[in-house]
Every structure is written in C-alpha cells, then in structure tokens.
Structure 1
Amino acid sequence: MTTSPLHQPECLLDLRATLGEGPVWIPGEKSLYFVDIPEARIHRFTPETGAHESWSAPDRVAFLLPVEDGTFLAGMPDGLRRFDPRTGAFSDHKFVEPEKPGNRLNDGCVDPQGRLWFGTMDDSEEQPSGSIYRVMHEGNGLNITHHDEGYTVSNGPAVSPCGKTLYVCDSPEQTIYAFDIQSDGELANERVFARLEQGYPDGIVTDNEGTVWSGVWGGSRIMRFKRDGTELSSIPMPVTNVTKVAFGGDDLKTVFVTTARKGLDAETLAKEPQAGSLFEFRTDVAGVDQQVFRLNG
C-alpha cells in the first residue's frame, strides 16, 4: 500500500483521451474500466501490472456498467447494448428515445438494488430535452421507465450508500439535484442539492460515509459535499476538465480520476499535456463497492 500524501494526484496512465469518462472498478479483476466517448473506445487498466487493453465500439459509449453475468451494459447514443469483454462483442440493442434523434445517452450508475439509472442529453448541449430513466431486468429483457425531464446535459447520476437518495446533475445549469427514491422505485421530493459558482458538475459518486464527490468540468478540481449539501474542501487537479472519479484498490481508498482534452485550446493543452489522462490519489475514506446490474430472468 502506498504511503504517499493524501489527495496528491499523479498521472497513472498517460492516455490523453479526448473525453475520458465513466470509471468503474471491478474488484474481481483488480482493474478499472472507462471510456473515451468521442473516440468510441473502451479501456481497461490494471494498476498492479500496468496492463492496458482497449476495444473499439460500434458507436460512442457514454457509460459502461457491470452486469452480474460478467458482461456490461453500455450506454450508446441511441440506447443500451450489452458488451462482453471476453469476446469484445456487442449485442442486445434496446433503443431509448427514438423519437428524439438529437439526444444521446450520457452518464449512469447502478443502485444497491441492482437497478440502472441513467440520463439522456441534447447532443448539441443547447436544448433541455434530456430525461432520467430507471432500468430493471424483467423476464428476458430490460424494462425502462421514465422519471424526470428538462435536462440539457444530465450527468452523474449517483445513489447514496443506503439506496434512498438519487443525485443528478444538469451540468450547464451548474446544479446538482437530489431526489428521494421511494420503496417502489419512484422518485419524489426533487430539490437543489448544490450549485457551483465556477465550473460545471460532471460525473458524481458517493463514498461510504455518504459524501458526494463531483468531477468539475472547467474547474480543475474535484468537489465534495456532505449529505446536506454543505461543501467540503476541494481536491485540486493538474488539468482543467475533470470528468469523474471511482474508488478502487483492495481497501477502496484509491481514487481514480478520468479527465478530458475536449474543448481546450492549444495554449491550455501546452500547459496541460496530460489532459485526458487517467490520474489517481489516496484518500482517507473508503468508497462503496461497485454495484452490479441484477438479472431477474
């Protein structure tokens, strides 16, 4: 175990992705999966060995979340597909919002009940045409239900460790919202959880104390919030566009951070040559085990 100072980011994989996103730690493999959305690439990195593998996807992948059978659910622009890293194959296309060709899927998470939550967004990032959905596996297929709307760029989402609160960002609005997740899976009591004054909230996760961690696009930092929305100290990052974090390692106290080069001009890139790379640092609070999508059929 490293004894390096806490919250001191170091470049782990000098990848320089266009838009690195969606890190998830798979403990059985001791590996981190993440995506580069515009390049339609899926990456797997194993810190212990330094092994780095990647796959080409048939289209952009916004998120990749584990299923209990060893596959992943991939959020593609027009819907959900299954991805099997053992073969590299994509299958089982489930379309979402076919009536909105200008939208695409964005970020997602799995809650403690094994349900997938994800959001959609306007691909041009101009219209509030995005929504929040929940996915359950029923019988031989996926049951997708609509729960909220009016998002220009939905991000997050994240669920509290107890499974009773859903956090969702609307990034251009610089706002993180919170909802109560009721026993039947419906959402209630929408409220503003936090607003940012500088930068835009991107991917969010929670640790095992319920603290909310948010990557900040255009903000060169990771912000943290108590369960009541009170801001804690931020963690500075050496690059401008910080997209999302994931807790990993044997004790879930290693924080992996994806970043992006997208939108940065030549002058900024010259100052931040490792923008888009994968970073890591140690922290003093453990994360939550990565939840897996539950198959009921």
Structure 2
Amino acid sequence: MNTDSPPFAGTILNAPACLLGEGATYDPHTGTAWWFDILGKRLMECTVATGEIRSHTLPEMSSVLARVDADRQIIATETGLHLRTVRTGALELITPIEADNPVTRSNDGRVHRSGALWIGTMGKQAEAGAGAIYHVARGNLTLLYPGITIPNAICFSPDGAAAYFTDTVTARLMRVAIDPATALPVGEPQVFLDHSGGKGGLDGAVCDAEGAIWNARWGAGSVDAYSPDGKRIKSLSVPASQTSCPAFVGVKADRLLVTSAQQGMSAEALAADPEAGKTFLLDHPVKGRFEPDYIL
C-alpha cells in the first residue's frame, strides 16, 4: 500500500471500522484514547492498556475532543464547542461556531499549551473555500484564516511559539509564528513543506517533544515525520490507504495511534483495502507529548 516505508508494525485495534476516523487524542489521566467517526456520528473510547473499546453515539457530526477536567471535555461539532460530561455523555453548547451555516462542520483542531484551541471548519461536501480556521480562548472566538477548503494538520511546536496547519487541497503545510502565551499569530504564515506532486494528501498531524511533525498522509497509507526544518525523516506504513490522524498515546506518550477512513471508497476499493476505517497502534517508538487541557 505504501512503497516508501517499511512494512506495517503494530496492532489493529478491535474497534468498529470508521467511515471517517478523525480527531484522535489521549487523556493521560485515565489512559484513554479518544477518536471520532465523523460521518458515523460516533465517539470512540479505548483504554489503551487493555484494548477495551466503547462507542458513544453523537447527535451531530463531531471531530475534536479535549479534556477540561476530570469530569468534563469539550467536543467540536457542526454547531460549535460543546461541553461533554464524561460520566453521562450529556452535551451543552457553550461556543457556537458557524452554527447558523448548515453547509459546514468542524474538522481538524488541537489545544495549545495556553489552553486555547485552534479549530477548523469545512464544507460537508468539501465545498471550495467554505471553511475557516478559528482561535478559541475561554469561549472567545477569533477568525484566523477564512476561505479554507479542508483544514488539517493543526499542531503546535513544543515551545508554543509556532503553529502548523494545512488546507489539504493546496498540498502545502504552513508554519506561522504565534504568541506562546495566547496562541494568537504574530506573523504571516509561511510555507513549511510543499507536498505538490507527492503521493496522497496532508491530513492530521501532531508535533513531538523534539519538534518533529508527524503527519498522516491520506491516500498513501503512511504517517510521515518531518524535522523542524521541513525534511522528511521517517515514514511509517499503515495498512489502510486513507490514513487520517495520529495521536501520541501511552504512559510515556511514546506510541502513535492512527485513525483511517472508508469515505468515498467503492466496494472494489474496500475489498482491496480490507483494513480501511480501522484504528492502529504503531510499534515505532516516538518522543511524544500529552495534549494540554482546554481552559474554559
């Protein structure tokens, strides 16, 4: 499936296949990995140490989760940020984001060390330029970059002074200087990586403790690591072509969990890609970091 990386080494989790697996993250306080099936309107929960899986039905398409405290999370959905009670799954809309626009939904996003969130929206049919990337801090919404088609790869450098993002259709991973105290941009985005002509598309990403960006390459069955100066330094195979989002998991944040998707695949394509939509734990050791909590 992927021609430029070694064979897959890892575990296929015993979780239902996702139509569109996305938004992987990990709560080190409970040892729990979380991810979404956006199109299936499900939130998946996995106790990493045991492999136990739980599936939670959601009322609308959702894509990003972050811890608030032991009892609460936020999730980003079609209508904005909702506060989720972990014990009951109850949702309360707290920050509307394009709630009056039925065309769009949330997509990629991550929390910065300041407790602020960067979150992207996109058209439900990937309508050109229908989405945007926003900054949300303590409920205050700031539009950062409008006219986005498929926002992805949102992540932050270890020192909190740089943000990365892409509009997948452009094939360019962008880097922008930000204020480490607020996560607001202090400069203009610059091209960090030009993937034009490369196989597959840039999808979800995380930045490790050494500043390397681990990016899921949709359509290529791969997670690729790029050094802080933009050089590809590692490619790890994933046995599903539509690789979508990585997350650092485990007690030491030293493993990668990776989601994938079946979206848009014909019966013939699914037959040729039997693990499509599955979720994977890769064996390759990484020097990851835990996600910060979102500050209300």
TM over 0.5: yes
Q: 1:189 aligns to what?
A: 188
For residues 196-218 of structure 1, what are the alpha-carbon distances to aligned partners after superposition, in whole Å with 9 as ceiling and x for unaligned?
Answer: 21111111101110000111111
SS of 1:239's partner is: coil
Instruction: Using structure 1 for the length normalisation, give the TM-score.
Output: 0.91
Q: 2:200 aligns to what?
A: 199
Confirm whether residue 47 of structure 1 aligns to residue 51 of structure 2: no
CA displacement at 1:143 relative to structure 2: 0.9
Instruction: Using structure 2 for the length normalisation, give the TM-score.
Output: 0.91
CA displacement at 1:70 relative to structure 2: 3.1
Q: 1:161 aligns to what?
A: 158
Q: 1:118 aligns to what?
A: 119
CA displacement at 1:156 relative to structure 2: 2.3
Contact 1:253 1:282 in 2 (8 A): no
Contact 2:61 2:105 in 1 (8 A): no
Q: Take 2:208 and 2:289, find their aligned partners in 1: how far apart are those partners?
A: 5
Q: Take 1:29 and 1:97, find their aligned partners in 2: how far apart are those partners?
A: 32
Q: 2:251 aligns to what?
A: 250
Q: 1:279 aligns to what?
A: 280
Contact 2:24 2:245 in 1 (8 A): yes
Unaligned runs of 5+ in 1: none
Q: 2:168 aligns to what?
A: 171
% identical equivalent positions? 30
Q: Take 2:35 and 2:182, find their aligned partners in 1: how far apart are those partners?
A: 31
SS of 2:13's partner is: strand
CA displacement at 1:249 relative to structure 2: 0.9
Q: 1:134 aligns to what?
A: 135
Q: Take 2:253 and 2:39, find their aligned partners in 1: how far apart are those partners?
A: 29
Q: Take 1:50 and 1:9, find their aligned partners in 2: how far apart are those partners?
A: 13
**246-255 vs 92-101, which moves further:** 92-101
Confirm whether residue 228 of structure 1 aligns to residue 225 of structure 2: no
Report the residue type matching 2:267 in the other structure.
Answer: A
**238-247 vs 194-203, which moves further:** 194-203
For residues 73-126 of structure 1, what are the alpha-carbon distances to aligned partners after superposition, in whole Å with 9 as ceiling and x for unaligned?
Answer: 111112111111211101134221246432222111001111111111122213
Q: Take 2:17 and 2:11, find their aligned partners in 1: how far apart are those partners?
A: 14
Report the residue type matching 1:120 in the other structure.
Answer: T
CA displacement at 1:31 relative to structure 2: 1.3
Contact 1:14 1:274 in 2 (8 A): no
Q: 1:60 aligns to what?
A: 61
Q: Take 2:9 and 2:112, find their aligned partners in 1: how far apart are those partners?
A: 29
Report the residue type matching 1:167 in the other structure.
Answer: Y
| C-alpha distance 94-184 of structure 1, shift in aligned 2 (>3 A) | closer
For residues 9-34 of structure 1, what are the alpha-carbon distances to aligned partners after superposition, in whole Å with 9 as ceiling and x for unaligned?
Answer: 32122421111111111112111111
Q: Take 2:145 and 2:199, find their aligned partners in 1: how far apart are those partners?
A: 26
Contact 1:245 1:256 in 2 (8 A): yes
Q: Take 1:35 and 1:46, find their aligned partners in 2: how far apart are those partners?
A: 15
CA displacement at 1:47 relative to structure 2: 2.6
Report the residue type matching 1:178 in the other structure.
Answer: R
Contact 1:174 1:199 in 2 (8 A): no
SS of 1:163's partner is: coil
Contact 2:79 2:100 in 1 (8 A): no
For residues 161-210 of structure 1, what are the alpha-carbon distances to aligned partners after superposition, in whole Å with 9 as ceiling and x for unaligned?
Answer: 11011111111222211111035543113111112211111111011100
CA displacement at 1:244 relative to structure 2: 0.7
In the alignment of these two chains, the number of paired residues is 287
CA displacement at 1:6 relative to structure 2: 10
CA displacement at 1:282 relative to structure 2: 2.5
Q: Take 2:18 and 2:99, find their aligned partners in 1: how far apart are those partners?
A: 29
Confirm whether residue 81 of structure 1 aligns to residue 82 of structure 2: yes
For residues 47-68 of structure 1, what are the alpha-carbon distances to aligned partners after superposition, in whole Å with 9 as ceiling and x for unaligned?
Answer: 3223211211110111111113
Q: Take 2:41 and 2:69, find their aligned partners in 1: how far apart are those partners?
A: 24
Q: Take 1:22 and 1:168, find their aligned partners in 2: how far apart are those partners?
A: 14
Q: Take 1:28 and 1:6, find their aligned partners in 2: how far apart are those partners?
A: 32
Q: Take 1:63 and 1:207, find their aligned partners in 2: how far apart are those partners?
A: 19
Q: Take 2:206 and 2:7, find their aligned partners in 1: how far apart are those partners?
A: 19
| C-alpha distance 113-58 of structure 1, shift in aligned 2 (>3 A) | same
SS of 2:268's partner is: helix
SS of 2:257's partner is: strand
Q: Take 1:77 and 1:210, find their aligned partners in 2: how far apart are those partners?
A: 31
